[in-house]
Structure 1
Amino acid sequence: MDHEEIPSMPSTPATTPGTPGAPLFGGFDGKRSGHNGRYTPKSLLKSCKCFSVDNEWALEDGRLPLVSCALPPPNVSLYRKLGAEFVGTLILIFAGTATAIVNQKTDGAVTLIGCAASAGLAVMIVILSTGHISGAHLNPAVTISFAALKHFPWKHVPVYIGAQVLASVCAAFALKAVFEPTMSGGVTVPTVTLSQAFALEFIISFNLMFVVTAVATDTRAVS
């Protein structure tokens, strides 16, 4: 039988992007070994997990089975996770609110699409930059949702929410210092009744949590 090159296949993640310390697009859990908890070539080989991902049709066709290998995620300290969560939330709040303030100061030159694009790009950049460290929750609702679905430890929820709230307050004072007077740009002031505002916030938050938890916790979403 001719030897064929064995291509690599994406593995089914055992952890999720919402879990701090996990790779951004999934990976396998593993334990560190070696000096001071650092990975060594020998410990990497021991912690590397390989398994066949092909089916019996490959053997019948005379092909070698496909094999997938994955290394465990790095062990990130809680302080690094909180620092990454703080910086990510600070960037998101500052960028999103600053765009709304500039839009008001320039009489709508940025436009509504520009404000939405700015916030979306800020979220994407923060997730790609800090997602592998803290999970890039950026929102207490996301943190609580992950904890409720058992993808995040409850004992870390209070400190995560504290980092998010502190980052939001710091971003607000930074905006006040830069854009004084800020007028009403970026301030959430409902123009409808309280019941209508609550209903809209509930629906929008539900859609956000549905998408985030579905994409981050379903292993088939990243394959």
Structure 2
Amino acid sequence: MKKKLLAECLGTFTLVFAGTGAIVINAASHGSITHMGVALTFGLVVLAMVHTFGDVSGAHLNPAVTLAFAAARRFSWHEVPGYLAAQIVGACTASFLLHTLFPQDATLGATLPAGSDSQSFIMELVLTSILMLTILSVSTGAKEKGITAAITIGGVIALEALFAGPVSGASMNPARSLAPALVSGHLSHLWLYLIAPTLGALLAVPLCLCVRDSTCCSPPPAS
């Protein structure tokens, strides 16, 4: 279990450090990375972390994903608190490091709505639902492992960040939004990015059952 928690911590650290780091560096370098570059960074870092840690912890890297796996009966509820804590610690460590490296940045890549809260709430709910439905379809039990799963999940994240990033920030991940918000002090919209992705991921569970048989959301067979 210690190795699983360390893998989740390291994986989420890398996700937040690279993803929000791309946003911070893009701002510091007057747009040299570009929006497309930021979106691809998020997709590529998830691809890399799923391939790196998928066979250890499942590479959830996301509290909403962990909760949805548990709701789908693919993951034990008693392991959920440890995973959530590891993900939050990894994310916050990354944001603190970015704050040390770029103290002039005001938001540290925090996700903020471009329009109304309701618009971003619905966007985050739908985006995370699509992402989690994909994860449930390509994962084995509660483990996202193998190059196919890594490419598919990373590709969906990059795709969603490309078209939805300018609207809601395309977080899809409470830990990714929590860490920069806490460190930068931009907490006014945080509730949106904690609740909407979680609800979206949970919504993917019954959607999976609608398009697949009951084994979609059931404990994996004993090996």
TM interval, short-chain normalised: 0.5 to 0.7
Contact 1:143 1:161 in 2 (8 A): yes
Inter-partner Cα distance in structure 1 for 2:106 and 2:64: 28
Contact 1:145 1:213 in 2 (8 A): no
Q: How many residues were matched structurally?
A: 144
Counterpart residue number, 2:7: 84
Q: Does 1:94 align with 2:23?
A: no
Equivalent in 179, 193, 197 of residue 102 of structure 2:
179
Contact 1:104 1:185 in 2 (8 A): no
Contact 1:90 1:171 in 2 (8 A): yes
1:84-163 to 2 correspondence within 5 Å?
84-163=7-86
Gaps in structure 2 of 5+ consecutive residues: 149-223
More helix by share: 2
Inter-partner Cα distance in structure 1 for 2:2 and 2:107: 35
Inter-partner Cα distance in structure 1 for 2:140 and 2:116: 36
Letter in 2 for 1:176: H
Higher radius of gyration, 1 or 2? 1
Inter-partner Cα distance in structure 1 for 2:108 and 2:83: 27
Given the two structures, how large is their TM-score scaled by the length of structure 2?
Answer: 0.61
* SS of alignment partner, residue 132 of structure 1: coil
Given the two structures, how large is their TM-score scaled by the length of structure 1?
Answer: 0.61
Percent identical: 38
CA RMSD in angstroms comes to 1.9
Q: Which portions of structure 1, spanning 4 or more consecutive aligned residues, are displaced by more than 6 angstroms?
A: none
1:188-207 to 2 correspondence within 5 Å?
188-207=111-130
Answer 1 or 2: higher relative contact order, Cα 8 Å, separation at least 6.
2
| Offset of residue 172 of structure 1 | 1.0
Q: 1:94 to 1:213 in 2, by over 3 A?
A: same
